[in-house]
Amino acid sequence: MAKAQMMFPAGFRWGTATAAYQVEGHNTHSDWWAWEQVDGRILHNHKAGQASNWWANAEADLDAAAHMGTNAHRLSLEWSRIEPEPSVFDQNALDRYRQILQALHDRGIEPMVTLHHFSNPLWLVEKGDFNSQIVVSYFQRYTAKVVAALGDLIPLWITINEPMVYMFMRYLVGAFPAPQKKGLLAGMEAVKHMLLCHAAAYHTIKDSYPAAQVGVAKNFPVFQAKPGSYFPARWWAGQVNFWFNELWMQAMVNGRLRTFIGSTPIANLAGSFDFVGVNYYTRFYVKFPPLGGFYDPSWGPEAVVSDGHYGEVYPAGLYQVIQNALNYHKPIYITENGLPDEDDDLRPSFILTHLREVWRAISFCYPVMGYYHWSLVDNFEWDRGWTQRFGLISLDPETQARDMRPSGRLYRDICHLNGISSEMAAQYTPALLATMFPGESPQSPAWQG
Ligand code: FCB
């Protein structure tokens, strides 16, 4: 008799995800590189340095990804490498990206490519980047260059990663490299320009490759009022959810951006996405009034919280955000999901419980096409430097020594089975066996053969 298994459909994408600046190393023309040089901006003044050494040797980790049995990987291109000076395109950089994309194909790993993942060429910042409409024609031209040089190797595209996180961290919190103008109004202007950039890139890609699938990776946190809160907090949670989660999506659906006083039409935007990219990490209890931070990090005593108070482990939220994504009537990809957990004591159960939610969604015929775990290997975590380790593979950034974490071995077993099983729970996270697979145990009849 077989042990209990939750199987995924044939062809399901089992992936991992990375971003250029975080893994490549020495992206000296990026605004992040300049930003890092000033003390006090990155936790412990960490530097990206050679990062995970992908510019020199992405292939080492891609070998590991192939060994794990993954068939998909999400990576990004660094605009500042491809166009280090305005209108100067670096053919060597494009050639290296071609090599990396070919290396993925050679290993049976389908690439999903992000054009903009939190990092800008320095020259673009000097010109005002997303504060100014000029960004749209620059982004369109960069996209056209990438399409011409690499498009034949890219079936799946993300134009912009987490636009609302980018706006929030950059224009409101100030933890990401500075735009020319900050504040809410400048941030909303940037959202408008990001939407225009997205639309321009979408059509540029589709004009040359109509069969390419193009979307956005949108971070969808679950926002809730703390249980037992009164009406204002619940109302506020709804507002935060609307502005952070819904605003961007509604704009992509109907081509109009809601503003505080009405709405603005955005040219060529309506319907310009082929799938919904869901980045899901955690739930936030929003505070009302939102003084001293918009969320309340005092999770209940029962909450499981990942390294550095990054967030609560809340797998049910993944199911919730998948259900919300059904509103957009497009295929869904889980383009990021993971947690910082250096000693890997939470990640195995994190992976199994989140994948159970994906399986539940698929068992209701919700169109979830793939899951990309963030991340394949430890990498430079933006303003949090090297303090947060998201990798299935651990990395010492000094020596570049790597080690597969137990969760990496679990992910390998998952990819090879095309599903999750009670046996995996028993092996990697025994405490989960009884709750996730009730009635299953090494003593149960099914296990006795
Ligand atoms: C997401 C980012 C990604 C990484 C993970 C942990 O918000 O897209 O680059 O930092 O969080």
CATH value at residue 375:
3.20.20.80
- Asked whether residue 349 carries a pLDDT value surpassing 50, the answer given is yes
Mean pLDDT value of segment 23-32: 98
**Ligand 1, residues at Cβ distance < 6 Å:** 19, 22, 161-162, 165, 219, 279, 336, 374, 381-382, 390
Q: What pTM, to 2 d.p., does this model score? A: 0.98
- Asked whether residue 301 carries a pLDDT value surpassing 90, the answer given is no
Q: E-strand spans in 82-163?
A: 110-116, 156-161
Return the pLDDT at 299.
Answer: 83
Sign of the CA dihedral with 271 first, then 272, 276, and 281 last = negative
DSSP code per residue over 63-78:
HHHHHHT--EEEEE--
Mean pLDDT value of segment 351-367: 98
Type of residue at 298: S
DSSP code per residue over 244-295:
IIIHHHHHHHHSEEE-SSSEEE-TT-TT--SEEEEEE--EEEE-SS-TTSSB
DSSP code per residue over 150-171:
HGGG-SEEEEEE-HHHHHIIII
Percentage of the chain surpassing pLDDT 70? 99
Residue nearest (by alpha carbon) to ligand 1 atom 9: 19
Mean pLDDT value of segment 201-221: 98
Question: Phi and psi of 395, rounded to 5°?
Answer: -140, 135
Task: Quick: pLDDT tens for 65-101.
Answer: 999 999 999 999 999 999 999 999 999 999 999 999 9
- Residue 437 tokens, joined: 């697979």
What number of other Cβ atoms are within 10 A of residue 165's Cβ?
Answer: 18
How far is Cα 368 from Cα 199, in angstroms, rounded to an integer?
24
Interacting residues of 349 by C-beta distance below 8 A, sequence separation 6+? 428, 429, 431, 432
Query: What separation in angstroms does the CA of 284 have from each of 177, 187, 227, 394, 442?
Result: 24, 21, 12, 27, 37
Work out the pLDDT band at 2, boundaries 50, 70, 90. low
- Asked whether residue 294 carries a pLDDT value surpassing 80, the answer given is no
Return the pLDDT at 382.
Answer: 98
Work out the pLDDT band at 1, boundaries 50, 70, 90. very low
Return the pLDDT at 172.
Answer: 95
Mean pLDDT value of segment 387-409: 98
Q: Ligand 1, residue 162: give the atom nearest the CA.
A: 8
Q: Using CA atoms of 19, 21, 22, 23 in order, give the dihedral in degrees to the nearest 10.
A: 80
Q: Using CA atoms of 376, 389, 405, 55 in order, give the dihedral in degrees to the nearest 10.
A: 40
Q: How many domains does the chain have?
A: 1
How far is Cα 283 from Cα 148, in angstroms, rounded to an integer?
40
Type of residue at 273: F
- Residue 64 tokens, joined: 């590991």
Mean pLDDT value of segment 396-413: 98
Q: Which of 381, 386, 387, 389 to mutate to test the pocket of ligand 1 (most atoms within 8 A of CB)?
A: 381
- Asked whether residue 322 carries a pLDDT value surpassing 70, the answer given is yes
Domain housing 233: 5-448
Return the pLDDT at 158.
Answer: 99
Type of residue at 135: V
Average pLDDT, whole number, for the chain? 96
Q: How far is the CA of 56 from the centre of ligand 1 (A)?
A: 22
Total residue count of the chain as it appears in this document: 449
Q: Ligand 1, residue 381: give the atom nearest the CA.
A: 10
* Helix (H) or strand (E) run with residue 215 in it: strand 213-219
Return the pLDDT at 443.
Answer: 84
